[in-house]
Amino acid sequence: MFEFIKRYALKKHLTEHSVARDRQVFSLRNAKTIGILAEITDEDSYKEIFAVFSKLQTISKVQMVGYIDEKSVPFYCLDQLAADYFCKKDLNWYGKPEMVQVNDFIDTDFDILIDFTRRNLPPIQYMLTLSKAKFIAGGNKENQEYYDLIIEGTDSHKKLFENIYVYTQKLIGE
């Protein structure tokens, strides 16, 4: 019952504060700014998403926010200038992230925002709803209402990244 009340309060907050985005289509090659949302479940998932993050940094200016569905951020998640991590203790009672870095990420006007999460996570949905990104892509069916492009059937972050790279180029005719 309490979980239902928390989800209702978060949904109500999002409805009242939703953002009208300036939607545009970008390819990863021509995007000047890229945002990454990811769930870090273990050290292997951290390494996999960090490899994609590092590759994107060679193409464009990239900023990443990782969510850890635990009480604390593990030791292997190293905060960097362009990569921040948050966990359950950084959420208010109904699941809204309460971190300056998360608010800055939401307010950034990314050309492309890529969601690498694989399940329903209210803090990530909060960020997707309020994001000012021009183009949002991802592979999570739970979040497809927030996406401009959904890529289904990807089992790894690297494969999702490769598919987004290919399909965004096709969308703009490169």
Q: Is the pLDDT of residue 23 over 90?
A: no
Q: Is the pLDDT of residue 88 over 80?
A: yes
- Mean pLDDT value across residues 4-26: 72
- Mean pLDDT value across residues 61-85: 91
Q: Is the pLDDT of residue 103 over 90?
A: yes
Say whether 61 sits in a helix, a strand or coil: strand
pLDDT of residue 8: 65
- Tokens coding 102: 């998360």
* Local confidence band at 140 (pLDDT 50, 70, 90 cut-offs): very high
Higher-scoring residue by pLDDT: 2, 35: 35
Say whether 130 sits in a helix, a strand or coil: helix
pLDDT of residue 13: 66
**117 burial class (0-12, 13-18, 19+ CB within 10 angstroms)?**
buried
Q: Where would I find the H helices in 17-121? A: 43-57, 100-107
Q: What predicted TM-score, i.e. pTM, was given to this entire model?
A: 0.89
* Residue 151: HSE in the Cβ half-sphere, 13 Å Cα cutoff: 22
**pLDDT tens, residue by residue, 46-55:** 999 999 999 9
Torsion of CA 93, 96, 98, 101, to 10 degrees: 160
pLDDT of residue 93: 84
- Mean pLDDT value across residues 96-105: 93
